Every structure is written in C-alpha cells, then in structure tokens.
C-alpha cells in the first residue's frame, strides 16, 4: 500500500457568522459523515446564540468530536479560514476539509473526494441548493476563456471525473497538511472574497496537484450574479449586490493580480470594471466604490472594509 493510499486523518474546518440554523444543519450532516475525524468550527464573534450552542455541542459524547473556536471579532471568511486551518492542523489533520456554514455536502461527497488520492488541493462542484443543475460558482475552464454555468456542462468538460488545474472556493475543498506547510495559511487580512483564489494561486506556484471532482457535490444558496457576461459576451464580471463584497473583491483582486500575474492584468481588471459599471450595469456609485477598492489594493491597504461592518 502506497503512502497516499494510507488512511488519512480528515478534519473539517467550518467558518460561521450569525447563521445558527444553517450551522445546525451542516454540523448534523458532518457528524454523520464517515471518514471524518473531527470538526473545527470557527465562530466569527456571532451574536445569535452560536457560541452557546457550540459549547453544548462540544460537550456531547457521541458522534464526530466538535472543536469550537470563537474569535474576538468578525474577521470574515479569510480570517476564519486562516484560524480554521491552523487549528485543524493542531488537531492532527492530514487533510483539512474547508467549508462555509451555508454549504451542505451531499452524502458521499467526502468519500468521492478521498478516492482521488493523488492530489494536494481539490474539491467538489458547488451547485445551487434550489436549482441543483446550476453551478453557484461558474468555472472558467483551464486553457481558454470558456466559462461553464451548469452541472452537466462541467461534467462534460471533465476527464475521468475531474477537471484538473482548477478548484472552486472554500466550499468542501480538501487541502493536505504537506501543502499547507509549504505555502502557509490563507491570508487573514483579505476579510472576504479572493482569499480562496489567492490560496489556489499560491498552491499553483508551488506545483501543487489541483482539481475539481465533478461527481462530488456541495449544495449552496445562490450568491447573485457571478460570471455576468460583458463586452458582448467576450468575458465576464463578478457582480455582487453587496457593497462590502464588491469593495473587498475590487481590492483583493487587484492584490492577487499584482502579486501573482502582473500590472497588465491589473489594468485589464480596471478596464473591465469601468466597462461593466458604465455600459453593462451603469452605476456612478459603484464606479466610485470600485475606485476606492482598486486604490486600496494598489496601496495594500486592508482597513477600508471596516466601515461596512459598523
């Protein structure tokens, strides 16, 4: 038996903030998942009773052990995953299974992922909870500009049940201890949006084996209009109705492009943003907000999102 086929200790790392009912459903599902050794739940200073419920759940003597971690303030998904991965490794994880509180892995998801033993950073397709034939996070296929939005199209593009060199956000994604030790933890300062993509870029630069496994599924609520077509259908833009998410997307995307792709890619993103909010979805207010986020990304200033949390 090879080292990669040996049983590995899998620890789930869940990030939550004020979504107790969704968290209850997810934890119940995880506790019924074979092959899972422990569940780390990072609570971003919730005020809806999440902390109290987690303390009770942690004292239960049955099922998969639950380890609650309460942060002193809301540090967003990025800060939550930074702490979640760190704590999962401290719990002895060989593999960390990352997810938000609003995702729900389908039965068999983890087993299907674990069957792919030759990967370092890999995950499932994320489908709409209400319309499971649609992808919540569209996938731009490697090696071209084609983006797929439907489950059937993603599966048709797969080879031997997976799409290599791409993995979608931290919703059911597995990462090996060895890779974390090589590239470090997710960047906590991003707060929200782009931290998962930045982690993939770091993994890619380190030569990690990356893939999306198309027979593994996580259900997730719709998140808006990701991958909105623009420029006469030649490209897409990740539009969000949330000012917080948009500001962080603009800032963090500039940081990712500047650090991993170069200033020409930053310029193209700026052009896309101006085009989108001038012609595709005209909005002077969004152009102003975009400019603030882009300038913060150029400066490396990660403080501006705080005004949206007050």
CA–CA separation, 61 and 46 (whole Å): 25
Strands 121-128 and 210-220: parallel
pLDDT digits (tens, 9 = 90+) for 62-118: 789 999 999 999 999 999 999 999 999 999 999 999 999 999 999 999 999 999 989
* Alpha-helix runs per DSSP H in the chain: 20-31, 50-58, 76-90, 109-114, 151-157, 177-183, 195-205, 243-260, 263-275, 284-299
Q: Scanning the structure block, which residue is given the tokens 């540090």?
A: 75
Q: Which two tokens stand for residue 13?
A: 């790392």
- What pLDDT sits at residue 239? 92
CB 124 within 8 A of CB 48: no
SS3 at position 15: strand
CB 72 within 8 A of CB 149: no
Kindly give the parts of the chain with pLDDT less than 50.
1-3
CB 136 within 8 A of CB 238: no
Radius of gyration of the chain (CA): 19
CA–CA separation, 11 and 55 (whole Å): 18
CB 292 within 8 A of CB 179: no
Topology (CATH) of 3-220: Spore Coat Polysaccharide Biosynthesis Protein SpsA; Chain A (3.90.550)
CA–CA separation, 293 and 295 (whole Å): 6
**Count of other CB atoms within 10 angstroms of residue 113:** 26
- What pLDDT sits at residue 223? 79
- What pLDDT sits at residue 4? 52
Q: What is the pTM of this model?
A: 0.93
Residue ranges of E strands in 77-181: 95-100, 104-105, 121-128, 134-140, 147-150, 162-164, 173-176
CA–CA separation, 23 and 36 (whole Å): 17
CA–CA separation, 243 and 80 (whole Å): 20
Catalogue the long-range contacts made by 55-64 (C-beta closer than 8 Å, 24 or more residues apart). 57/27, 63/31, 63/32, 64/30, 64/31, 64/33, 64/36, 64/37, 64/38, 64/39
* DSSP state for residue 280 in the 8-state scheme: I
């Amino acid at each position: 038996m090879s080292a990669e086929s040996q049983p590995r200790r899998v620890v789930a790392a869940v990030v939550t903030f004020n979504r107790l009912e969704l968290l209850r459903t997810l934890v119940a599902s995880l506790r019924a998942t074979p092959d899972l050794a422990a569940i780390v739940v990072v609570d971003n200073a919730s005020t809806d009773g999440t902390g109290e419920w987690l303390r009770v759940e942690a004292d239960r003597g049955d099922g998969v052990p639950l380890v609650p971690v309460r942060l002193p303030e809301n540090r967003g998904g990025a800060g939550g995953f930074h702490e979640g991965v760190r704590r999962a490794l401290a719990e002895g994880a060989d593999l960390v299974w990352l997810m938000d509180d609003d995702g729900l892995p389908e039965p068999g998801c983890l087993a299907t992922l674990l069957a792919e033993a030759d990967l370092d950073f890999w995950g499932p397709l994320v489908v709409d909870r209400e319309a499971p034939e649609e992808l919540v996070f569209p996938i731009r296929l490697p090696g071209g500009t084609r983006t797929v939005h439907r489950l059937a199209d993603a599966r048709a593009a797969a080879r031997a049940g997976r799409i290599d060199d791409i993995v979608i956000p931290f919703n059911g994604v597995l990462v090996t201890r060895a890779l974390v030790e090589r590239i470090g933890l997710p960047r906590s300062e991003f707060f929200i949006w782009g931290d998962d993509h930045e982690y993939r870029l770091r993994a890619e630069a380190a030569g990690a084996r990356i893939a999306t496994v198309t027979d593994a599924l996580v259900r997730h609520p719709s998140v808006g209009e990701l991958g909105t077509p623009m420029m006469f259908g030649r490209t897409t833009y990740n539009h969000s109705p949330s000012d917080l998410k948009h500001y962080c997307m603009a800032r963090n995307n500039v940081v990712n492009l500047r650090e991993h792709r170069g200033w020409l890619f930053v310029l193209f993103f700026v052009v896309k943003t101006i085009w989108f909010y001038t012609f595709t979805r005209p909005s002077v207010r969004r152009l102003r907000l975009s400019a603030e986020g882009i300038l913060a990304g150029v400066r490396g200033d990660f403080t501006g999102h705080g005004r949206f949390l007050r």
